[in-house]
Amino acid sequence: MANKIWLSSPHMGGNELKYIHEAFDENWVAPLGPNVNGFEGDLENFLHTNFKVAALSAGTAALHLALIQCGVQNGDEVICQSMTFSASANPIAYLGATPVFIDSEKDTWNMCPIALEEAIQDRIAKGKTPKAIIVVHLYGMPAKMQEITAIAQKYNIPLIEDAAEALGSNYKGKACGNFGKFGILSFNGNKIITTSGGGALVCQSQEDKDQTVFLSTQARDNAPHYQHSQIGYNYRMSNISAGIGRGQMEVLEDRVDARRKMHNFYLNLFQEIDGVEVFHEPNDDYYSNHWLSAITIDPKVSGKTREDLRLALLEDDIESRPLWKPMHLQPVFAQAPYYGKKVAEELFENGLCLPSGSNLSDADRARIAQKIQEVFKK
Ligand SMILES: *Cc1c(COP(=O)(O)O)cnc(C)c1O
């Protein structure tokens, strides 16, 4: 049988092992070392920023440390985009705080600025100013950052940018990850580049980065013995993982190009199919890495549902996945406040992510095209 076609799978560049060998040769087999420093420098260069990057064990860990540094505590409220992966919201719960979820808008599928401002005003009226805002660039598509940063500034609430899916994306020429007080990146196995597992926190100052590294290495005070004045975490990236990251940074531009080509492949493919829309950039202000290509299906026009397509692809061992189920519809967050309408909910009902990996071959694409054409054939 033919190979399985994945939604998004790891794609090594070639030099990852070189960096790992260096780590072994010098015995830097620990959560610190030259690859960690090198990877952080590579990321800072790529983001074209004066901001400082701290490499961590996961994007989720980065978000946790960002919330801590925004002063989020037990009983606080934190605003979060509803349409996202659960890792955007879980760290709010780790801290005993309550997420306040916000609907999406239709252009970018990300946080709706109107619902955001409505939520802030209502939470303040109810007696609690939210401690932070978590905005997400879902599937690599930049959110409406001009509107959202303006609202965050107006109410003086720190903005945290979940750019886990958006390394290589930019908005009005500025790289995603650079817009908030903190930006988080992920290098999980399915992301545009991977360190097998890992993440990073983009910090506005060296001071914030130092604090992030301090917290991520068990919050050890400056003393010959182990001395602690606050609770620490074991969240630093290992020098082995960072070695993979250094190799991956050498090919990141190529990976973005390949993902954007997959997006164009789907644009062409669906041009002739009525009732299916490929998720695309609203205008030239937005440059998406197209980490995942996604479509919405209007069953009334196309005669098929997203489940029809998903199951047909699965039969041929082609992976696809419904759009991320909004957090306000998740059983675990059923009690959390929600602001907005049904944009995210309808996207979830009718949307599907399609195979988008940078390592897909022409033969893979032909197989995908054939199956999709078969499904929508009248
Ligand atoms: C992957 C992801 C995360 C979490 O990153 P990990 O490195 O897997 O912990 C957070 N937010 C979003 C939107 C993600 O896609």
CA of 84, closest atom in ligand 1: 13
pLDDT band at 378 (very low <50, low <70, confident <90, very high): low
pLDDT score recorded for residue 30: 92
Sign of the CA dihedral running 153, 154, 159, 162: negative
Burial class (CB in 10 A: 0-12, 13-18, 19+), 118: middle
Say whether pTM exceeds 0.95.
yes
C-alpha 216/C-alpha 56 separation (Å) is: 7
Q: Is 84 a pocket residue for ligand 1 (Cβ < 6 Å)?
A: yes
Mean pLDDT over each residue of the chain, to the nearest integer: 97
Averaged pLDDT for residues 6-25: 95
Q: Is 241 a pocket residue for ligand 1 (Cβ < 6 Å)?
A: no
- Phi, psi for residue 161 in degrees, rounded to 5: -100, 115
Q: Is the pLDDT of residue 2 over 90?
A: no
pLDDT score recorded for residue 49: 80
pLDDT score recorded for residue 127: 95
Q: Give all domains of the chain, ordered by start, each with its CATH number.
A: 16-251 (3.40.640.10), 253-377 (3.90.1150.10)
Q: Angle, to 10 degrees, between the axis of helix 16-25 and the axis of helix 239-249? A: 150
Contact indicator for 55, 245 with CB cutoff of 8 Å: yes
**Tally of CA atoms within 13 A in the half-sphere of 262 that contains its CB:** 28
Strand order in the sheet with 170-171: 174-175, 170-171, 286-287
C-alpha 301/C-alpha 279 separation (Å) is: 17
Residues 87-140: tens digit of each pLDDT: 999 999 999 999 999 999 999 999 999 999 999 999 999 999 999 999 999 999
pLDDT score recorded for residue 1: 60
Give nearest CA residue, ligand 1 atom 6: 59
Counting ligand 1 atoms within 8 A of each CB, the residue from 88, 202, 323, 356 with the most, and so the one to mutate, is 88
C-alpha 130/C-alpha 142 separation (Å) is: 23
pLDDT score recorded for residue 264: 98
Of the candidates 32, 8, 130, the one whose C-alpha atom is nearest the C-alpha of residue 72 is 130
Run of H or E residues at 231: none
Give nearest CA residue, ligand 1 atom 14: 164
Cα 107 to middle of ligand 1, angstroms = 22
Residues 177-200: tens digit of each pLDDT: 999 999 999 999 999 999 999 999
Q: Is the pLDDT of residue 224 over 80?
A: yes
Residues 131-156: tens digit of each pLDDT: 999 999 999 999 999 999 999 999 99
Residues 291-350: tens digit of each pLDDT: 999 999 999 999 999 999 999 999 999 999 999 999 999 999 999 999 999 999 999 999
Averaged pLDDT for residues 3-12: 96
Contact indicator for 42, 252 with CB cutoff of 8 Å: no
C-alpha 17/C-alpha 190 separation (Å) is: 19
C-alpha 122/C-alpha 364 separation (Å) is: 50
Tokens of 3: 């190979």
- Phi, psi for residue 213 in degrees, rounded to 5: -65, -40
What percent of the chain lies above the pLDDT cut of 70?
Answer: 99
Amino acid at 12: M
pLDDT score recorded for residue 206: 96
